[in-house]
Amino acid sequence: APHAQGQQRPAQRAGAVASVAQPQKATWSGTTAVSVVAPGAGTRANGSVYSSLGGVPDFQVEVAGHSGAAYDCYPENWRQGRRGQNLESFASELLQQGIVDSKNLLVFGSRGGQVVLPYLWRCRGNAVPPAVVINGGCASKLPTPTRWPEAAVTFLLLGGKDHFAQGLSEQAYLAQSKSHVPPSNRTTAILLVNEMEHMPQPQLLECILQPMMRAVLAWKKTGAASVQDLGRIREGLQKA
C-alpha cells in the first residue's frame, strides 16, 4: 500500500458524467451535485475514475470545461501566461454560470487548483463549496497570493513524486504546503502520498477520491472532521 503522511487542521440517481452546460441551483433531495473542473484534473488519464463517480447513486457529477481548450492556459501575470482567454476567464465564466451556488462539492487538479479555485475564493470566499484539490495547487507560492477563506473546507492530495514538490523531501513539501494555509483556517486537511506522481495513478485515485469527497462533505455539514471518514481514506490507501 502507498505510504501516506497527513495533516489536519483542528434522491435522484446520478447519470453519466457530462460536460457542464448551464447549471441550475442544487435542490435535489438526497443528491450531491459535484463539479469536476477539467483543466488539470486528469479527466483523460483518469477518465475511468471520474466516470465511475457517475454511477454513485447520491452523486450527480458534471465535468466543467475541457482540458486543452483555448482558455486552458495560465493568466498573463504567470510565466508564459497570456491575456484574453485563460484559466481566470474560464473561472469567471463558471462563476457566472452559478458553479458556487449550484454545486455541493468541487474537484480540482494541478492548474485548476492553482488558478480556478483561488479565483472563486477571491470572488465568493466562504460561499465556495468544499473542495478536493489534487496536487494542492492552491497551497503553493503563486503569482497572485491565495486569499484562503477562513471557513473553506478543503482536502489537499499531494504526491511525493509530483514535480510541484520541486525536489523537496516529503516532510519539507508537506510543511511548505501547510504554511500556505492561514492559521485561522481549521477546516483544511492535507494528505501526502509518497509514491504519487503529478498525475495520480488510476488505482490510487479510484480508492481514495470518493472517501475524500465524502469526508469534506461531512466536514462542511457537521463543522468537524470525522475520524471515521478519515479512516476510510486510510483504508482506501491500503487497497491501492
pLDDT tens digit string along 109-167?
999 999 999 999 999 999 999 999 999 999 999 999 899 999 999 999 999 999 999 99
Predicted pLDDT of residue 80? 87
CATH number for the domain that contains residue 127: 3.40.50.1820
202 residue type, one letter: P
What mean pLDDT is reported for the chain?
89
Please determine, for residue 4, whether its predicted confidence score (pLDDT) is greater than 90: no
The pLDDT value given to residue 27: 33
16-65: per-residue pLDDT in tens?
A: 333 333 333 333 335 899 999 999 999 999 999 999 998 899 999 999 99
CA angle 30, 32, 36 (to 5 degrees): 165
- Joined together, the cell numbers standing for residue 85 give 482567454
- Which pLDDT band, with edges at 50, 70 and 90, does 12 fall under? very low
CA gap 82, 134 in Å, rounded: 24
Please tell me the total count of domains within the chain: 1
**Which residue range forms the structural domain that includes residue 65?**
4-239
